[in-house]
Amino acid sequence: MTKFALAAATAMVPALAAAQVDQGPANADFEAAFENQTRAPALDDTAVTTETFVDGLDHPWGIALLPGGDYLVTERPGQLRMVMADGTLSEPITGVPDVDNREQGGLLDVAVRDDFAETRRVWLTYAKSVEGGTATAAATGTLSEDGTELTDVQDIFVQSPPADAPMHYGSRIVFEPDSDNAFITTGEHFTQVNRELAQDLGTTYGKVIRVDAVDGTAPEGNPFVGEEGVDTIWSYGHRNIQGAAVGPEGRLWTIEHGPAGGDELNLTEAGENYGWPVVSYGVTYSGNPVGSGDARQEGFAEPVYYWDPVIAPGGMIFYDGDAFDGWGGDILASGLVSQSVVRLELEDGRVTGEERIDVGARVRDVEQAPDGTLIVVTDEAAPNGALVRISPAG
């Protein structure tokens, strides 16, 4: 065989595809819009150890690190507790708003700002009973010095209109860097009628909301201030956003639940329409097409990454610790169905690799401890709800 013939024959042999995370068959038959938009190459497995940090919780949902290494953690039935750095669990903190604890509702996220030691200010999101139904709400209050009571609690956001379905509340709250503003995520309350409102700028269903974190007013720079639409809306066309974090570059990233397939990681920008329920990389739970039946159309923002089958996302962070070598700047996302922490490696705003760190339980939220290890929230009924520490093995 001549050198030319050998080269031609070699060129005809397809390159071996990079190994992917073992996740099973897809629900939908869509092609990705670009390389590594889904099923990115599998990263090398990280050797870890897991140990229960706190147990006996009832559907814990959100966690926030306090100065000094203590934590605040929510339980969906309506309890807010402090967890000491040594794992001691407090009695429920008083003064928490009443919650609608039906189905997916209850006390949901908790967050504090970097100035907590001076202000003692805490933010909560929750399902609120309102005249005509239920709504995602966000409130802020002051935690007493002894950590036993919230006072001066005031709502800064209440979703409208009231919903008839206690489902898909979204409900993460994160803070915009170098400003007084907060981003609050919502869901579209699940039903066929309700989900259409994710495209309706006259409602706050299926939206990212941007408000002043103390008084709830619409800040300058919101895309619909002075135009048709609710002036606190930042982005729209979302299904049920339960992960949100600000990246190292100061921009907002979110992860939302898809139906059967189609969980999405989005770089979430002002005024953008993310397509739900017109387009989706998933299908309905019965296997029928969603909306138009298309995965994408002109005018809708593409997800940076999507999963099919779903991970069923919870909270997320960008890792900036030293405990796990090579993780700096990576996304760590909670997975309920995947029962794992999902690590995504990013380069120039695109996913270049994925790893699953098995927890063996539904992971609802993840927080980075002061030493760079992880504290993950497992969403189980009492007494099985827990906080689990993940550390490097060895």
Q: Active-site residues: which are they?
A: 168
What is the rounded distance in angstroms from the CA atom of residue 287 to the CA atom of residue 290? 9
- Using alpha carbons, select from 53, 80, 87 the residue that is nearest to residue 359: 53
Stated as kind and residue range, the H or E segment containing 10 is helix 3-11
What is the rounded distance in angstroms from the CA atom of residue 80 to the CA atom of residue 215? 22
**What is the 3-state secondary structure of 235-285?**
EECCCEEEEEEECCCCCEEEEECCCECCEEEEECCCCCECCCCCCCCCECC
Strand-pair partners of 367: 375
Cα torsion through 327, 329, 334, 338, rounded to 10: -50
- Using alpha carbons, select from 357, 183, 168, 378 the residue that is nearest to residue 277: 168
